[in-house]
Chain A
């Protein structure tokens, strides 16, 4: 069964450093998402991406965050200058279409900022 794949599975970075989390969505999907889950808390929406542009973003997704689809298969989340509070599990997800369609999640990238 097709799946969303994410790399790295775990990354430790120093505060202030830039981090890029990578994702390969399911190949025929058109909508892409990033969610995050701080340890012990709920899963929170960060951003959705469609047709090579951001379609929606949350208040968490500030100027420190950016997303990109650099080629036909990858979808990346960049955090420019990491803060301690960015430590979380980051989930990439994709769906065939928008509202009502099942979103398929990757296994997550665990980011630890020290």
Chain B
């Protein structure tokens, strides 16, 4: 069965500093991987996704993530954060080609950017 682990429940970081939000997954089949962001009192917005091909994917708002199959990881990074990046970030996995289309979400990481 699929599962997603986000090891850090909260990550405080100063403005303009780099940040990495960690995500590990487990699955016995090929997977598709996603990062979503949830701003306060809003829905989930897709940041980026990995389906196949290049393991480094770039998303919106300057975020990028790298798929590492051997380490079963899909960590999210940004070289320089802004106050406006303060939000909850969710990693999600979907099994590829299995006929199931649901996403399994991690527990989320709350990024707090400090001035």
Contacts and interface: CB of A to CB of B under 8 A. Distances in A.
B106 A105 contact: no
B49 A42 contact: no
Contacts of A108: 43
Given A42-B107, A44-B105, A48-B101, A100 B44 contact: no
Interface in A1-45: 4, 31, 33, 35, 41-45
Given A100-B51, A102-B49, A42 B96 contact: no
Nearest to A42: B107
Interface residues of B, number: 27
Interface residues of A, number: 26
B94 A99 contact: yes
B46 interface: yes
Interface string B85-115: 0000010101111111111111110000000
Contact of A42 (B43, B46, B106): B106
A56 interface: yes
B100 A56 contact: yes
B105 A99 contact: no
B44 A91 contact: yes
A56 B102 contact: yes
A86 interface: no
Given A55-B101, A100-B94, 16 more contacts: A4-B43, A31-B101, A42-B107, A43-B44, A43-B90, A43-B103, A43-B108, A56-B101, A95-B101, A99-B101, A100-B32, A101-B101, A102-B34, A105-B36, A107-B42, A108-B43
